[in-house]
Structure 1
């Protein structure tokens, strides 16, 4: 919406409220266009800092989309992620007030919010928040703490999503080395990092390295998760396509 692009969130909110009322009268509460406007209005509430209103509206949209489209429809899933994002914002505000912005629980919520941004395609926001969380976690928890390493891994994914593949590869290499030492080769966090590093190799055209690492990940996921686990099948599908 043009008002969003210009940062004119109050104007967007007012227009969406007017459109929503018209759509309810003409199309009904459950029409996809009505639900789309409700979802956009929730985003405007969020942009204006009205997180409680945004969350309440997202709950309504989610329930209606489940009824009309089903739980696995992309629009339903998108609303679920938006709702999760709003909840993370609300929890973060309260934890920052009560515990401060350096407390491990606050930093954990910040990390969850960064992941929500990434899921919703807001990669720059995810990157910036992950950088902030990482710096704080290094100070509070240390560079080798599992939470710090998880944030480093998420930051690498943000780099990849933004096309900064070399940065992603270098950071994933560091994380993988530390996770292997601290958690072991068969830990799920280690295997996730291996898979992400393989993707970075592929993005950079290092396809032989990508294939070799994916073969290793596949074998270890079979051992840890079994042949039919979705994560095992996902890496198998990637290998079959290479």
Structure 2
């Protein structure tokens, strides 16, 4: 490909990122849609830069709440990643995780759970259970269990997630505090009121440490 083609793609990237930082999602979407057409034409669908454009376009869909479009493109990216990189590649795992989140946001909980479990299994094999991406998937899957009313599964995975987050991120990290809150809600939903109260008090103390007294 000629150098000026690379320059054109670079310009698309720069302006797309500038408008994204400003939250100007309509302009961002237009830029990334044009960039994707351009990349697919000159580079092909399987080229890494084309896949980057797809990821960026999905972000604009998220920013505008266009979840059906995000799902459609997310499925396409995942298919390409599996074909080109294999299912164990870190980029493929990110695509799987993102699609599971998209399902969850659309309340497609069974699909979210199925893909979330598959993603988590592969992440533990490839990245290890202490990797930040693995912890995010654990937290998301626990929340999916909760939303489906599978409270014991939510509790078990929530406790495992919280233990690892405290080790890796520390107890004051926002992700850790969110997991603590989710677990407290799970206890409360099961009428385990003593555990819910104890964890709630711990959350309040840690939140005050982080945010200060109101």
Correspondence for 1:180: 124
* CA offsets 1:162-218 (integer angstroms, 9 cap, x no match): 221111101111111111001100001111111111111112110121122112111
TM-score, normalized by length of structure 1?
0.63
1:223 to 142, 150, 167: 167
Structure 1 residue 139: deviation in Å? 1.1
Q: Distance in 2 between matches of 1:229 and 1:80?
A: 30
SS of alignment partner, residue 106 of structure 1: helix
Correspondence for 1:189: 133
Q: Distance in 2 between matches of 1:196 and 1:119?
A: 19
1:157 to 97, 101, 110: 101
Query: Bigger CA drift: 102-111 or 172-181?
Result: 102-111
Correspondence for 2:79: 135
Q: Distance in 1 between matches of 2:98 and 2:171?
A: 26
SS of alignment partner, residue 128 of structure 2: coil
Unaligned runs of 5+ in 1: 1-51, 63-78
Q: Distance in 2 between matches of 1:160 and 1:94?
A: 31
Residue 58 (structure 2) pairs with residue 114 (structure 1): yes
Is the CA contact (8 Å cut-off) linking 2:120 and 2:138 kept in structure 1?
yes
The within-5 A match list for 1:34-183 is 62=22, 79=23, 85-86=29-30, 88-183=32-127
Q: Distance in 2 between matches of 1:87 and 1:211?
A: 43
Q: Distance in 1 between matches of 2:168 and 2:81?
A: 29
Is the CA contact (8 Å cut-off) linking 1:115 and 1:154 kept in structure 2?
no
Structure 1 residue 98: deviation in Å? 3.8
Aligned residues: 170
Q: Distance in 1 between matches of 2:166 and 2:34?
A: 39
Q: Distance in 2 between matches of 1:185 and 1:226?
A: 15
Structure 1 residue 224: deviation in Å? 1.1
Structure 1 residue 82: deviation in Å? 5.3
TM-score, normalized by length of structure 2?
0.70
Structure 1 residue 90: deviation in Å? 4.9
